[in-house]
Structure 1
Amino acid sequence: MKKALVAATVIAIGAGAYWVSQQKEQPNNAMLAYIPADTPLLSAQFSPFPIKDYIDSIPASQKQYPAELRELMREEDDPRAKFFLGLFNRYMGSIKDGQTFIDTFGLPQNITSYFYTLGAIPVLKLGVAKPEAIWALLDSLEAESGLVHEMRSLDNVNYRAYSLMDKDETERVDLVVAIDNGLLTMTLSTSFSEPTLLETALGIKAVTNPIGDTHIIEETIAKHGFLKDGLSYINHQELVKGITTRDGNQLAKQLTRLFAMANEDPFIELRSQVCRDEFNGIANNWPRTVMGYTNFELTKQQTTMGLSTVIESNNQVIMGAVQQIRGFLPAYTQDISSSVFSVGLGIDVDQFVPAITKVWDDLLTPSYQCEPLRQMQAEMEGQSPAMLGMFAGMANGVKGVSVSLINYELNEVAADVEIKTLDAIVTLSAEDPATLFNMVKPFAPELANIQLPKDGSPVDLSSALQLPAYYGFTANMALKGNHLAVYSGDKAQQVADGLVNETLSSNGLLTLSADYSKLFTPMMTLMEMSGEPIPEELAALKDYNMKIKVDFDVNANGIAINTFMQTASDK
């Protein structure tokens, strides 16, 4: 039973979260009347999203069926698990093209969707064009799985209820599916939730504190510079209120009722006044994690998406410390179109230990009285970031380290896998990179006789690194202004020469980027030519036409993770 419910929950939540995460959004006041302002979780789509074109723009390699799920479907015999696995099976089978997808689920070409919670109860709403397609889909899933529904009605809204509990269970948890006024609703109905909760979830009864009566959405979008099309967030303050109070919000009331029925309250310690105050203080410093689009362009052939996730913070000490350690990221780490793979770590080593010490001291102040927090501080007090100073002292003046694989070719006729050509660069950015290099030489005998010209001329490292001539590439090292560069290839040399004009600045913390097609296609081609069987999980990476870039940084509003993704159709 537990295995079945876990499988069903993972599949249902995973599919729903993926579905909602793909959407483009903009406010709709009518719908917002049914979403409470204290919802712990919201992902709202406000403007119609071209789902058909989006599915068509996804490369086939992103539509591969997970092999693990096939095995799970063969082993599972619980009707509930088989039902949800079957639903996911339909989903994966339908995304081969946009028309099949919308026909399977009865969706319009451009859909609207909302995902939120009424306390702990999840609610998913989607616009539909052909309700009969959804009912037919559910009928077929019932026939395959053996899970049958009970037809019910509430204030003239008919809905299907699928029981998720065993027959001998005294409590009731039902999956509710309804379609009313062109809107599909999926939610849960339980015997221990408020009687009016299902009315609210089905859109029969508006909430008393609707988010539409506040300025939360507009202010959040403006604060973070998101596109007005949509917003998602997790409200840490409401989550903390839910576990540290008995009636502070809808979530707290639901948990209190549930724990009373179970005669056990796992959060009883956290609901003391001292814990409540201290956890609220933490939540006020870190109120929400918000997510929004910064860029969105879609055609049938290509999707370009920019997404920003910000962990909001009002803790000026920690935010100031993170700002303090920001280092330098070269321009080549920012150009996603000119490399196969890049990673850049911007760290001001001179500021690292002082900044970490500030964070450490802030986490130990004030001295917490709430037992779980007190134990955390006790463990921290036994450690000290000062010991990091011994290692940081060996890298004084370092501002960052970056690597980029610009291009590569594999030898397609060699008996063993060999690199035919290589364009790559590694840089160390520092106030005095020459001095750092001279400090390292005593620990690397192969570099002992190398003298770096101050005029930026390259030194051949091939013999020092013992690179055989048949490898087809050489390695050079050169001082380029504030940067020590080790590189191979003509394109890498051009990048290295351009570093002379890049002065050190505190412009970032961490960046990662990859062009999946350039990264995996040469390897897959070589494996095919060798006659070796390609594992299924690797075969899916061939011609995987996607570029992605992720930046981890800090801004005035908190800790930011900015993601850029571009996918293109194979057609």
Structure 2
Amino acid sequence: MNKMLIAAVVVAAGAGGYWYSQQSTQMSTSDNAVLSYVPADTPIFSAQLQPFPIKSYINSLSEAYRQYPVGALDELKQETDPRAKFLLSLAKSYMASMKDGSTFIQTFGLAENIRSYFYTLGLMPVIKVEVANADAIWALLDKAEAESGFTHTNANLKGVDYRSYQLTDESEKEHVNLIFAVHDGLLTSTITTSLSETVLLETALGVTPVDNSIVDAHIIEEIIKKYGFMNEGISYINHKEIVTALTSTDGNQLAGQLSKLFEMLEEDPLVELRTPACQQELASIADNWPRTVAGYDELKVTDKESTFGFRTVVESNNLVLLNAYQTLRGYIPPYVQDTDSNVFTFGLGIDVNQMVPSLTAIWDDMLTPEYQCGPLAEMQAQMSQQSPGMLGMFTGMANGVKGVGVSLIDYKISDDLDNPQLESLDAVVSLSAENPSMLFNLVKPFAPELANIQLSANGNAIDLNTIIPMPAEVNISPKLAIKGNHLVLFAGDKGEAIANSLETDLLVNNGLMVMSADYMKMFKPLLTFIELTGEPIPEDLEMMKDYDMRVKFSLDIDQKGFEIDSHMNSRSTE
């Protein structure tokens, strides 16, 4: 049964994973009828609010991205349970539909441009997707039934026909049902239980609106205005509503549903949290960390290429912690930010001099006030036995360090099968610090090979091959130099150019972490060489050869909270 539920999550994620758009029109949530059925206290919400060109998006993906490893569903294939076989059939149909954009929209009865929604009515998940051809949905489900022997029950609620698939065994007292319906051009999928009230399903199916909706509360407009997101898609997790559900019996819809479930089980696993002290203290924490919100900063979709910029913010109102975390920010060099000219980059910005005072401020804030709520008091007791001040013994040697950067710019493997070697390598590794010469001299006693190296402050490089000879099959000549405030290890002409560019870079605290990768540049030379040798290419690597995608991920913090910025660019296979 667990495997079946995992498969259900995979299918649902695949069906709802395209919540984007390319248009930038002004949005009024009051014009969106679906949102009047979403309660303001929903703990989770994610929606594509403007039509997204799903057909073009599928076409823009490289062929490798649209394929799945052979044997991806082998575990499910061994299942004899009709429910698992039903989900297996849906998963296989989904995989087959990824052949191209036309096949995908025809399989699921979608238009070329769609809106989609995911939210919860308390515990009850609801997925809605705009459809153009409802018959395709029913044909897909009929096919899955024929291949599995798992059948549905037809039902009607206030004029809306729907299919109900019972996921639990007949012998079980409580029933769980998977629901499918098409109403007003929307496919709705949800899950009901024998504990669910009828009005809840009415709301999920778009028959009975809620009294206080997400539109009434102006939540979406507020998020877009506050964070400058594009209008197309917004997601959030409401931490305050989740805390209310965990600490009260009827504070919101989710709390009431959990209370009813625990009453049926004759056991309340949250009883320790549902005390006045926990309610007050956890609510205070939630006030400081109210939501995680996400939206788009960039959207460009054509049949040949797709580019997405997606930003997630963990909101915080705790100025003490925000200031402490911001003080930790260090220096990330410009070359780490460049996703177009590199195979792989990584940058970590940490101001080591500020690490102990910043962590101490964070530690002190988490130990104040003294909690009375049992679980929180226990956490504080464990934290009080430790002290971040001890880090001072380890950070002393790294005094003045602001950050590190790594970049694999380019590499080439020779096509000489009799003498395979790394033909060329352009790469850079940098350590940025207030006094890089002092740090290098501190390290030398731990590496005898470096004992006689004297790095000049004028930026002249030393060829490390003369000190630590490289193997013959590795045709590279690494060099070491101090360039301004940066100790740099580099190889190749491109690596040298970047090293030289660092000489005038100032140590500005500009971030916490950045990482990027170009999958095609990373894997193609290696796989081409393996092909030349005649050796079989591992299946997982074979799929990566034409994986024409670039990704960038960064982590930072400002006065609004933690910010996670993701950027992705994908091109179709030529």
Tell me which interval the TM-score lies in, with the shorter structure as reference length: over 0.9
8 Å CA contact 1:20–1:115 kept in 2: the answer is no
Residue 179 to residue 24, structure 1, CA distance change in 2 (3 Å): farther
- Does residue 1:349 correspond to 2:352, yes or no? yes
8 Å CA contact 1:24–1:45 kept in 2: the answer is no
Instruction: Report how far residue 419 of structure 1 moved.
Output: 1.3
- Does residue 1:514 correspond to 2:513, yes or no? no
> What corresponds to 1:49 in structure 2?
52
Where do residues 270-281 of structure 1 align in structure 2 (5 Å cutoff)? 270-281=273-284
Instruction: Report how far residue 81 of structure 1 moved.
Output: 1.5
In structure 1, C-alpha distance between the alignment counterparts of 2:416 and 2:23, rounded to whole Å: 48
Residue from 545, 550, 553 that aligns with 2:553: 550
Instruction: Report how far residue 10 of structure 1 moved.
Output: 3.1
> What corresponds to 1:263 in structure 2?
266
Q: Alignment partner of 1:46: what SS?
A: strand
Residue by residue over 1:97-129, the C-alpha shift from the partner in whole angstroms, topping out at 9 and shown as x without a partner, is 000000000000001111110001011111111
In structure 2, C-alpha distance between the alignment counterparts of 1:50 and 1:297, rounded to whole Å: 10
Q: Alignment partner of 1:108: what SS?
A: coil
- Does residue 1:326 correspond to 2:325, yes or no? no
> What corresponds to 2:507 in structure 1?
504
> What corresponds to 2:14 in structure 1?
15
Where do residues 101-140 of structure 1 align in structure 2 (5 Å cutoff)? 101-140=104-143
> What corresponds to 1:293 in structure 2?
296
8 Å CA contact 2:7–2:87 kept in 1: the answer is yes
* Residue-pair matches, total: 570
In structure 1, C-alpha distance between the alignment counterparts of 2:508 and 2:94, rounded to whole Å: 48
- Does residue 1:230 correspond to 2:229, yes or no? no
Residue by residue over 1:458-480, the C-alpha shift from the partner in whole angstroms, topping out at 9 and shown as x without a partner, is 11111222213552210111111
Where do residues 392-471 of structure 1 align in structure 2 (5 Å cutoff)? 392-414=395-417, 418-471=421-474
Q: Alignment partner of 2:272: what SS?
A: coil
Instruction: Report how far residue 223 of structure 1 moved.
Output: 1.0
Residue by residue over 1:209-247, the C-alpha shift from the partner in whole angstroms, topping out at 9 and shown as x without a partner, is 111112211111111111111200011111111111100
Instruction: Report how far residue 414 of structure 1 moved.
Output: 4.5
Instruction: Report how far residue 520 of structure 1 moved.
Output: 0.5
Residue by residue over 1:293-345, the C-alpha shift from the partner in whole angstroms, topping out at 9 and shown as x without a partner, is 01111111000100001111111111111100100011100110011000001
In structure 1, C-alpha distance between the alignment counterparts of 2:82 and 2:344, rounded to whole Å: 45
> What corresponds to 1:62 in structure 2?
65
Residue from 177, 184, 187 that aligns with 2:187: 184
Q: Alignment partner of 2:72: what SS?
A: helix
Instruction: Report how far residue 16 of structure 1 moved.
Output: 4.3
Residue 109 to residue 100, structure 1, CA distance change in 2 (3 Å): same
TM-score normalised by length of structure 2: 0.97
Q: Alignment partner of 1:462: what SS?
A: helix
Structure 2: unaligned runs, 5 residues or longer? none
> What corresponds to 1:525 in structure 2?
528
- Please identify runs of 4+ aligned residues in structure 1 that moved more than 6 A: 21-25
8 Å CA contact 2:4–2:87 kept in 1: the answer is no
In structure 2, C-alpha distance between the alignment counterparts of 1:89 and 1:376, rounded to whole Å: 46
8 Å CA contact 1:106–1:131 kept in 2: the answer is yes
Q: Alignment partner of 1:48: what SS?
A: strand
Residue 8 to residue 459, structure 1, CA distance change in 2 (3 Å): closer
Instruction: Report how far residue 418 of structure 1 moved.
Output: 2.8
Q: Alignment partner of 1:295: what SS?
A: strand
In structure 1, give the amino acid aligned to 2:94.
Y
Instruction: Report how far residue 452 of structure 1 moved.
Output: 1.1
In structure 1, C-alpha distance between the alignment counterparts of 2:77 and 2:8, rounded to whole Å: 18
Instruction: Report how far residue 260 of structure 1 moved.
Output: 0.7
8 Å CA contact 1:36–1:211 kept in 2: the answer is yes
In structure 2, give the amino acid aligned to 1:64.
Q
Instruction: Report how far residue 24 of structure 1 moved.
Output: 8.2
> What corresponds to 1:201 in structure 2?
204
In structure 2, C-alpha distance between the alignment counterparts of 1:4 and 1:342, rounded to whole Å: 37
> What corresponds to 1:252 in structure 2?
255
Instruction: Report how far residue 19 of structure 1 moved.
Output: 4.2
Residue by residue over 1:247-271, the C-alpha shift from the partner in whole angstroms, topping out at 9 and shown as x without a partner, is 0000001111111111111111111
Residue 29 to residue 182, structure 1, CA distance change in 2 (3 Å): closer
In structure 2, C-alpha distance between the alignment counterparts of 1:22 and 1:75, rounded to whole Å: 39
Q: Alignment partner of 1:338: what SS?
A: coil
8 Å CA contact 1:8–1:80 kept in 2: the answer is no
In structure 2, C-alpha distance between the alignment counterparts of 1:207 and 1:398, rounded to whole Å: 55
- Does residue 1:569 correspond to 2:567, yes or no? no
8 Å CA contact 2:557–2:563 kept in 1: the answer is yes
In structure 2, C-alpha distance between the alignment counterparts of 1:6 and 1:176, rounded to whole Å: 15
Residue from 150, 155, 165 that aligns with 2:158: 155
Instruction: Report how far residue 141 of structure 1 moved.
Output: 0.5
RMSD: 1.6
> What corresponds to 1:390 in structure 2?
393
> What corresponds to 2:477 in structure 1?
474
Residue by residue over 1:349-394, the C-alpha shift from the partner in whole angstroms, topping out at 9 and shown as x without a partner, is 0001110111111111111121111121121112111111111100
Instruction: Report how far residue 85 of structure 1 moved.
Output: 2.1
> What corresponds to 2:84 in structure 1?
81
TM-score normalised by length of structure 1: 0.97
In structure 2, C-alpha distance between the alignment counterparts of 1:42 and 1:416, rounded to whole Å: 57
Instruction: Report how far residue 68 of structure 1 moved.
Output: 5.1
Residue from 533, 537, 540 that aligns with 1:537: 540
- Does residue 1:6 correspond to 2:5, yes or no? yes
- Does residue 1:33 correspond to 2:42, yes or no? no
Residue by residue over 1:413-445, the C-alpha shift from the partner in whole angstroms, topping out at 9 and shown as x without a partner, is 245753110000111111111111112112211
In structure 1, C-alpha distance between the alignment counterparts of 2:160 and 2:387, rounded to whole Å: 61
Residue 565 to residue 476, structure 1, CA distance change in 2 (3 Å): same
Instruction: Report how far residue 195 of structure 1 moved.
Output: 2.2
Residue 4 to residue 431, structure 1, CA distance change in 2 (3 Å): closer
In structure 2, give the amino acid aligned to 1:101.
F
In structure 1, C-alpha distance between the alignment counterparts of 2:381 and 2:250, rounded to whole Å: 31
Instruction: Report how far residue 70 of structure 1 moved.
Output: 2.3
In structure 2, C-alpha distance between the alignment counterparts of 1:6 and 1:417, rounded to whole Å: 48
Residue from 90, 95, 98 that aligns with 1:95: 98
8 Å CA contact 1:11–1:85 kept in 2: the answer is no
Instruction: Report how far residue 12 of structure 1 moved.
Output: 3.8
- Does residue 1:560 correspond to 2:563, yes or no? yes
Residue 4 to residue 471, structure 1, CA distance change in 2 (3 Å): closer
8 Å CA contact 2:342–2:409 kept in 1: the answer is yes
8 Å CA contact 1:224–1:557 kept in 2: the answer is no
Residue 16 to residue 362, structure 1, CA distance change in 2 (3 Å): farther
- Does residue 1:302 correspond to 2:323, yes or no? no
- Does residue 1:340 correspond to 2:312, yes or no? no
> What corresponds to 1:312 in structure 2?
315
Residue by residue over 1:502-536, the C-alpha shift from the partner in whole angstroms, topping out at 9 and shown as x without a partner, is 11100001000000000011111111111111111
In structure 1, C-alpha distance between the alignment counterparts of 2:4 and 2:268, rounded to whole Å: 23
In structure 2, give the amino acid aligned to 1:484.
L
> What corresponds to 2:380 in structure 1?
377
Residue 416 to residue 206, structure 1, CA distance change in 2 (3 Å): farther
Q: Alignment partner of 2:37: what SS?
A: coil
In structure 1, C-alpha distance between the alignment counterparts of 2:10 and 2:498, rounded to whole Å: 46
Residue 165 to residue 504, structure 1, CA distance change in 2 (3 Å): same
